[in-house]
Homo-oligomer: A and B are copies of this chain.
C-alpha cells in the first residue's frame, strides 16, 4: 500500500498511531533461525501476551498473509537493534543488518482493539492525553520455552465501572490482538506497586468510579528475548509499527 512506500523511501519515520485507520498494525521480533523454535514455542505457550500474526520464511523479507509488496527490512518507520541484550542502534531500515538466517515474527498489537473500544464508547485516556499507554512489569511468570523465559508485561487503561463488561466483551472477541483483560482492579495482585510510575510508556490518571484494567502486552516477548541476551535481535521501535493490508475487522472471532 501507498503508506509503506513512504516509509520504505524514508519519507515517514514517526510513530504510526492513527495512521491508516482500520488497518491492523503489527509488532516485530526478528531472531536468527537458531532461536526461532524457542521463540515460536514461547508464543505457542503464551498466546495472550504473544499473539503471532505471521512468521516469515527463513531469510525472507516478504510476507504471505498480512501484506503484499512489503519489505520487512525497510517498511517499519524505525527499528531497534540489540546485540547481546544491549540496544546498539535505532535505524529507519535494517537492510545493512539483514542475515540469511533471520526469521521475522509479526505480533498482534493493541492498536487494533483500541479502535474497537473507542467505537464501543470507551475513552482511551492515553489517547485523549496524547501520550503512550502505560505499561508495567508484573510478577506473572511466562511458561518458559527452551532458553526463553520472563514475566508478563501488561498495559493499563482506566475504564468506568459500568463499562468494564463491555471492554471485556469487545477485546475477548479479538484473541489475535491479546484478547480479554488478564486482570481488573487491584494492581498489587500483579506485583505493581505504583500505577503512577509505569515501567514503559506514560502514566495516566485514574478518575473516581474507574477501575484499572490490565491487558497482556506485546512488550512481553521482546523483553523475554532481550533478557536472554541473544547475539542479535531486531524489533520495531516502540510505537513505530508495520501497517498491514488486513483490516482490524478480520481479526475478530
Contacts and interface: CB of A to CB of B under 8 A. Distances in A.
Interface of A: 36-37, 40-41, 43-45, 52, 55, 57-58, 64-65, 143, 146, 172, 175, 253
Contacts of A253: 172, 175, 253
A57 B144 CA distance: 10
Contacts of A146: 57-58
A225 B65 CA distance: 23
A44 B52 contact: yes
A96 to B, nearest CB: 27
B64 A55 contact: no
B172 A64 contact: no
A147 to B, nearest CB: 11
B55 A44 contact: yes
Given A44-B55, A64-B143, A172-B253, 17 more contacts: A36-B37, A37-B37, A37-B40, A40-B40, A40-B41, A40-B44, A41-B55, A43-B44, A44-B44, A44-B52, A45-B55, A57-B146, A58-B146, A65-B143, A175-B175, A175-B253, A253-B253
Contacts of A52: 44
A250 to B, nearest CB: 14
A103 to B, nearest CB: 9
A28 to B, nearest CB: 16
A3 to B, nearest CB: 26
Q: For A40, A52, A65, which residue has the most chain B Cβ atoms within 10 angstroms?
A: A40
A70 to B, nearest CB: 17
A43 B52 CA distance: 12
Contacts of A44: 40, 43-44, 52, 55
